[in-house]
Structure 1
Amino acid sequence: MISEIIEKWIKGILIDGITGNLSGLFDNVNAKVGEIASDVGSTPQAWNSGIFNMLRSLSETMVLPIAAAILALVMCHELIQMITEKNNMHDFDTSMFFRWIFKSAFAILIVSNTWNIVMGVFDATQSVVNQSSGVIIGETSIHFDRLIPGLEFQLESMTIGSLLSLWFQTLVVGLTMNILS
């Protein structure tokens, strides 16, 4: 009789420990999902302004001039090829020059606004993530009592050794999650 009371008391303590460990574990996971949603939703400048400004200055002072020089070489080569291809202008069409001018202007426009285009893509994706972060946090939150209905009933049918083993496993997983975060 006393052994049954002690066994029931130990089982109660272990079951409470297991459910507490699982609850804490899932609360940590839910918190991390929320943190990730906010980190992904931040702009590049808000995430790390020093690296953002360094990349912007490198883009404007290094990449843009190199891209402009390569573009100038390609467009000059294309113009020379276009002129020599038509038998030294004996079979010449003036629309060729207009197409070349249009292609050159379009290429210059794209190269000179590359930084703005990339930042526009980042802003658009950041806006989408911010709009969906509430849904992400609300829909991905995990509650173990809804995930495993009747958990306490299942735990009560286990032996003390199994409960102790399960308690230790949930404790180790919870501590590992806390250490990694």
Structure 2
Amino acid sequence: MNSLKGKLFEWLKEILVAGIIGNINESFSMLNSKVGEISSQLSASPQSFQPMVFNLIRGISENAIMPIAGLILTFIACYELIQLVISHNNLSNFETWIFFKWVFKTFVAVELISNTFTITLAVFDVAGHVIQQSGGLVQAGLTLDPGAMMNMQATLEAKDVGALLGIFLQSMILNTLFQIMAILIFVIVYGRMIEIYLMVSLAPIPFATFANREQSMIGQNYLRALFALGFQGFLIMICVAIYAMLLKTVVFSEDILRSMWNALGMSVLLAFTLFRTGTLAKSVLHSH
């Protein structure tokens, strides 16, 4: 009877140890996969992320927003010309260079509006290059150490069935949190891209304000907002990278129960920091 009982406990231990190791491997494999996915998604330009959506947004912007931008530019150009005339005492101090200045500024403003999408996409191309480079470094840093896994398995095999059951349940919770984190990252990544599409759709209007010094603050703030959206992806990559590195060191400590709880706390911290990336990017670039 005792022999049968001992074999039963040994069988349960093998199942629990294999389950714990399997949950941890699955969690880290999921993290590796998710990091690879978000690296490509965050570095994607708006036109390559969802081409059909981008073409729709571009068509709406060119047909509905561009005429409004043209009216704004016409008003600003006329206002700028009046300001130039008044500033020289109603042409009593006539200087022909002021008209060349006005023509040049108007020409530049027209060119900016005509190349609105080229300029806005260039912003995200720069940010995408940075994200892509950082994503490669993060992916390389998430490889599991086989030696550490063997040490963890030896530590688990030395525990009794009751302790292993508790660790197994917590490893399942941790695995579930990884899935929740994957959904959270999906929501943040797609939410950021939708915000980018909304910003790009209105691009001609702020670009039309560059012809006037006072009104150009609108266009400058718009460009800062574009860069903030672009580099928000970089901050998301940094958050995931820090989380991955910290989790890698915590999970393989000798006190496995404490490691699991620390991992849960880090998962909650990751969720909080991901939601803060947009605000932080705007704060750094002074966008409001």
TM-score, normalization: structure 2?
0.54
SS at match of 1:143: coil
How far residue 177 of structure 1 moved from its aligned partner, in angstroms, is 4.3
**Cα separation, 2, equivalents of 1:27 and 1:46:** 27
The answer on whether the counterparts of 1:59 and 1:115 sit within 8 Å (CA) in structure 2 is: no
SS in 1 for 2:167: helix
Partner of 1:155: 156
CA distance in 1 between counterparts of 2:148 and 2:78 reads 66
Q: What is the percent sequence identity of the aligned residues?
A: 34
Does the Cα contact within 8 Å between 2:23 and 2:175 map onto a contact in 1?
A: yes
2:39·2:131 contact (CA, 8 Å) conserved in 1?
A: yes
Question: Quick check: 2:45–2:121 contact (8 Å CA) kept in 1?
Answer: no
Instruction: Return the alpha-carbon distance in structure 2 between the equivalents of residues 24 and 37 of structure 1.
Output: 20
1:125 is displaced (CA, Å) by: 3.9
Of stretches 84-93 and 97-106 in structure 1, the one that deviates more from structure 2 is: 84-93
Deviation at 1:62, TM superposition (A): 1.9
Q: Does 1:90 align with 2:70?
A: no
Distance 1:75 1:147 in 2: 68
Match of 2:66 in 1: 64
CA distance in structure 2 between the partners assigned to 1:111 and 1:46 by the alignment: 22
AA matched with 1:28: M
Kindly state the Cα deviation for residue 149 of structure 1 after the two structures are TM-superposed.
6.9
Amino acid paired to 2:73: L
- 75, 78, 85: which one pairs with 1:76? 78
Cα distance, 1:22 vs. partner?
Answer: 0.9
Indicate the RMSD between aligned Cα atoms, in angstroms: 2.8
Structure whose alpha-carbon radius of gyration is higher? 1
Separation in 1 of the partners of 2:74 and 2:153? 73
| SS of aligned partner of 1:163 | helix
Deviations 1:92-151 (A, max 9, x none): 222211211111111111111111211233344445545555444223x24265666721
Separation in structure 2 between the aligned mates of residue 87 and residue 63 of structure 1, nearest angstrom: 37
8 A Cα contact 1:64 1:112, kept in partner: no
Aligned to 1:112: 114
Return closer, same or farther for 1:108/1:171 CA change in 2, 3 Å cut-off. same
Measure, in 1, the Cα distance between the counterparts of 2:145 and 2:175.
Answer: 14
Aligned to 1:170: 171
Matched residue of 1:150: which SS? helix
- Name the amino acid aligned to 2:78: C
Please list every run of 5 or more consecutive structure 2 residues that lacks an aligned counterpart in the other structure: 184-288
